[in-house]
């Protein structure tokens, strides 16, 4: 259920874009993000950090897009989000007991396996670089291609790249996991 909720705002954005335009899609995305926060609270009694950060960015950049009637603001939103994730991942090398990537992926190993801290730190740095590059890639596509190309890239391309990045690592991680 949570995975469906995670993608609902993207689906709303895409449908609204294809039915009308980027400005209607931006407004729809803003409403969808607020509804996601409400759903999170009702279902989980908390709001995941990624959701509230994304919602704040959507509301800020979406408001600027609509008030100034300038699509560049909403096009910057994914880049800012990715770069914030990259900075958070980098900061987690020194803040907290474990890097963020370990907190995200360790459950996939199960309670019976673990990786050395140095391995998690290397994987974490790979994620830092990945999200930094995604941010750059979003800007390149947003400002060098047609609006429709960017919308499709934002919804399908960035999502697919993220899934492929994670999927490519899991077998490697699982192969190197050792008994806890």
| 65-82 mean pLDDT | 98
Domain shared by 104 and 148, yes or no: yes
Domain shared by 58 and 89, yes or no: no
Which whole-number Å values give the CA distances from 170 to 6, 82, 118, 122, 128, in the listed order? 21, 21, 17, 14, 17
Virtual CA dihedral for 61, 63, 64, 67, nearest 10 degrees? Answer: 160
Kindly report, residue by residue over 10-33, the tens digit of the pLDDT: 999 999 999 999 999 999 999 999
| 137-163 mean pLDDT | 97
| 87-110 mean pLDDT | 88
| pLDDT at residue 5 in the model | 86
Candidates 78, 169, 65; CA nearest to 127 is 169
Residues spanned by the domain of 13: 1-69
Domain shared by 58 and 85, yes or no: no
Domain endpoint, select from 21, 52, 69: 69
Question: Is residue 81 predicted with pLDDT exceeding 70?
Answer: yes
Using 50, 70 and 90 to split pLDDT, how confident is the model at 180? low
Domain endpoint, select from 14, 46, 69: 69
């Amino acid at each position: 259920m949570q995975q469906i909720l995670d993608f609902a705002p993207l689906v709303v954005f895409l449908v609204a874009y294809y039915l009308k335009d980027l400005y209607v899609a931006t407004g729809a995305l803003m409403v969808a993000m607020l509804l996601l926060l409400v759903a999170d609270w009702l279902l989980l009694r908390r709001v995941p950090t990624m959701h509230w950060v994304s919602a704040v960015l959507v509301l800020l950049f979406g408001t600027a897009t609509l008030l100034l009637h300038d699509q560049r603001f909403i096009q910057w939103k994914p880049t800012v989000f990715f770069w914030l994730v990259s900075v958070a991942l980098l900061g987690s090398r020194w803040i907290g007991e474990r890097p963020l990537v370990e907190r995200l992926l360790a459950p996939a190993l199960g309670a019976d396996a673990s990786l050395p801290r140095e391995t998690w730190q290397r994987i974490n740095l790979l994620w830092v670089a990945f999200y930094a590059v995604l941010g750059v890639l979003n800007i390149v596509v947003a400002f060098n291609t047609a609006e429709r190309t960017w919308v499709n890239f934002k919804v399908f391309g960035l999502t697919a790249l993220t899934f492929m990045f994670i999927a490519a690592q899991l077998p490697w991680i699982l192969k190197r996991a050792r008994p806890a």
